[in-house]
């Protein structure tokens, strides 16, 4: 069935709540308002206030309550309006959700899903347009999912909901309207398994989240120049599938990594380091990285677009490795 990224996530939540009485949703404006991005629209009317909970504006409080609920045997799904607001809950996520399993000697599990929205492109200015997925991927004890398509959004969310560990599920605001073929029935896309979105022989383009769609656009343009690019979607950053990436680089002998966030300390550096250290003998050129401009995101539309990586940036990097 053809549905949008937004609809796929909404359907996954609806099916999960129906299937498992332990699952409930909590967040700011997710009930009566239907969510800032309309993902939870209609769920309150269908499932009631015990399953769809509007909360006060306190990210620290919301995530803290959800951790307690998870410790008590429930499976909470928290919606944080944007990943920028996750900064207000970093202590709960990083120091509690991520560590309680280890610090309790395996006695306490935290089956928590934190849904949040990352990325730029909607003129929301510097404090509401950031990509912090690499921060969370840095932390052991947390899993990080970054779906780039409607099919993966639904399947990865099912995997996150079934996982006994805390999962940060990052949706890109510019992908909500993206449509694709999605099965009506429930299915799971495993966390930690990359997907080859386009096969090729000349260069491997590694990306995640919205940059996968930009990489596919670049690959289509490169094809007109006679360059056959393989596009690899990581789908999740912790765990991430280095084996599939290395197998692709072994075949193409060249690699370009594209991400929307800042280059310094970005997750692309982890991928580049792994390719260089474990796949050095495969490479016929240095690994190239494409990332956002190192500056707070401008509000001005033209400047914002200039700060976000484009297909032309990926094409320039591909030409460099060729």
Nearest to 109 by CA among 148, 64, 61, 71: 71
Cα(173)–Cα(98) distance, integer angstroms? 26
How far from each other are the two terminal CA atoms of the chain, in whole angstroms?
39
Q: What DSSP designation does 40 have?
A: T
Do 240 and 142 form a contact (C-beta atoms < 8 A)?
A: no
Are 204 and 254 in contact by the 8 Å Cβ rule? The answer is yes
Which residues belong to the active site?
A: 59, 128
Neighbours of 239 (CB within 10 A): 13
DSSP string, 88-149: GGHIIIIIIITTHHHHTTT------EEEEEE---SS--GGGS---HHHHHTSTT-EEE---S
The label of the residue with tokens 């998870």 reads: 70
Question: Which pair of structure tokens corresponds to residue 175?
Answer: 């992908």
């Amino acid at each position: 069935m053809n549905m949008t990224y937004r609809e796929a996530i909404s359907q996954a939540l609806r099916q999960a709540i129906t299937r498992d009485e332990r699952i409930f949703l909590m967040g700011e404006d997710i009930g009566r308002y239907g969510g800032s991005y309309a993902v939870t629209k209609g769920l309150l009317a269908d499932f009631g206030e015990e399953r769809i909970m509007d909360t006060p504006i306190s990210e620290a409080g919301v995530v803290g309550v959800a951790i307690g609920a998870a410790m008590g045997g429930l499976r909470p799904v928290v919606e944080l309006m944007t990943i920028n607001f996750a900064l207000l809950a970093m202590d709960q996520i990083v120091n509690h959700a991520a560590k309680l399993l280890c610090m309790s000697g395996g006695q306490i599990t935290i089956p928590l899903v934190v849904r949040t929205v990352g990325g730029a492109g909607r003129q929301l200015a510097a404090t509401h347009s950031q990509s912090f997925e690499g921060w969370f991927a840095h932390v052991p004890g947390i899993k990080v999912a970054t779906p780039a398509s409607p099919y993966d959004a639904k399947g990865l969310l099912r995997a996150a909901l079934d996982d006994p560990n805390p999962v940060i599920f990052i949706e890109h605001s510019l992908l909500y309207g993206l449509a694709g073929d999605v099965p009506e029935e429930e299915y799971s896309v495993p966390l930690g398994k990359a997907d080859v979105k386009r096969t090729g022989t000349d260069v491997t383009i590694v990306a995640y989240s919205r940059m996968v769609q930009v990489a596919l656009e670049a690959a289509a343009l490169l094809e007109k120049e006679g360059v056959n690019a393989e596009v690899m979607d990581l789908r999740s950053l912790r765990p991430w599938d280095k084996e599939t990436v290395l197998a692709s680089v072994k075949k193409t002998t060249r690699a370009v990594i594209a991400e929307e966030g800042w280059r310094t300390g970005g997750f692309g550096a982890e991928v580049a380091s792994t390719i260089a250290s474990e796949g050095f003998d495969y490479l016929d050129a240095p690994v190239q990285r494409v990332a956002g401009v190192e500056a707070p995101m401008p509000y001005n539309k033209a400047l914002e677009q200039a700060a976000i990586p484009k297909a032309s940036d990926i094409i320039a990097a591909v030409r460099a490795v060729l």
